[in-house]
Amino acid sequence: FEAFRSQPSRGQAHVDSMGVVRALIMNLAVPPFDSIDVRRALNYSIDKQDLVRVEGGAAAAVPFGHVVGDSQEDNLLLGYDPYWTPQSQGDLAKARASMAKATLYDTNGDGRCDVDACRHIRAVTRAGFEGVAAAAKADLAAIGIDLDVQVITDPMKFFGVTADPAAKVPLTIGIGCGPSYLAATGCLSWFSPRYCPVEMCGFNMSSVGLTPDQLRDWGYGVTTVPNVDDRFAACVPKIGVDQFQCYAQLDQYLMEEVVPWVPYSEERYA
């Protein structure tokens, strides 16, 4: 791709979306990510353009702003990014303004988390995403989020750790959610334990939808987390355009009112 771009005489290279969305996944049952203001602050903090560069540049991915790849939602959310920043490079002022609202974690209102919950936060990533994790760590340090990055090279061990609710991993970096025969449901069902139970799917790294009993049994300190089971259930019986619209609305609700992810790229192929 780069060779064609730098030397037009070679011809043209067409690049398409793969529909795979890469993200930082926050565990809403673990402080400080139990605060929606902290979660929004992370979304404003990340320099998506830099993470795309680390991931391989424009030939590999483009900055992205929501849960499900556009092709999986019939392009209804094309260009949608509720945490848009100029050139997708992050906005520290907005990030700090959001953090300042989380008074439990930013006690002096300066836009930086200043309590122990924000120090030495375990962030798990897999081999190949070390650069992405390092870039994210640098971005988040500006709002007082201090990551201890753990790289797990064995894929089976990586998913065994991050997908285990009892492991209580606060932040997972580099997870990709892509196309499936179920279209948008493939990603959105991660947030609905009623339709995708942990024992079957094992991908609910955000803890969205866990019941009070599950939270207690797995040793979490919080008693409730956001739940979108009913919203997901409303989409399941719909067909065609109506279903696409329903899933797109759920995507928007997740990004604006739940905020479990920091999506940063959608992968491409030539």
pLDDT at 212: 96
Token couple for 224: 């409730």
Contact 105, 113 (CB under 8 A): yes
What rounded mean pLDDT belongs to the chain?
89
pLDDT at 185: 67
If one compares 192 and 132, the residue with the highest pLDDT of the two is: 132
What average pLDDT does this structure show over 123-136?
96
- The DSSP secondary structure of the chain, one letter per residue, reads -HHHHH-GGG-----EEEEEEEEEEE-TTSTTTT-HHHHHHHHHH--HHHHHHHHT-TTTEEE--SSS-GGGGTTTTTT--TT--GGG---HHHHHHHHHH-TTT-TTSSSS--SGGGSSEEEEEETT-HHHHHHHHHHHHTTT--EEEEEE--HHHHHHHHT-GGG--SEEEEEEE---TTTTHHHHGGG-TTTS-TTTT---TT-TT--HHHHHHTT-S-S-----HHHHHHHTT--HHHHHHHHHHHHHHIIIII--EEEEEEEEE-
Residue 42: is its pLDDT beyond 70? Answer: yes
pLDDT at 202: 60
267 backbone dihedrals φ, ψ, rounded to 5°: -75, 155
pLDDT at 99: 98
pLDDT, one tens digit per residue, over 214-250 is 999 999 999 999 999 999 999 989 999 999 999 999 9
pLDDT at 124: 98
| Window from 20-24, 118-122, 265-269 with minimum mean pLDDT | 265-269
If one compares 65 and 268, the residue with the highest pLDDT of the two is: 65
pLDDT, one tens digit per residue, over 54-102 is 988 988 899 999 999 998 889 999 999 999 999 999 999 999 999 999 9
If one compares 24 and 197, the residue with the highest pLDDT of the two is: 24
pLDDT at 10: 46
What average pLDDT does this structure show over 125-132?
95
Q: 13 falls in which pLDDT band (50, 70, 90)?
A: very low
pLDDT, one tens digit per residue, over 98-117 is 999 999 999 999 999 999 99
Contacts of 90 (CB under 8 A, 6+ apart): 44, 45, 46, 47, 48, 139
Q: 180 falls in which pLDDT band (50, 70, 90)?
A: low
If one compares 188 and 219, the residue with the highest pLDDT of the two is: 219
pLDDT at 184: 58
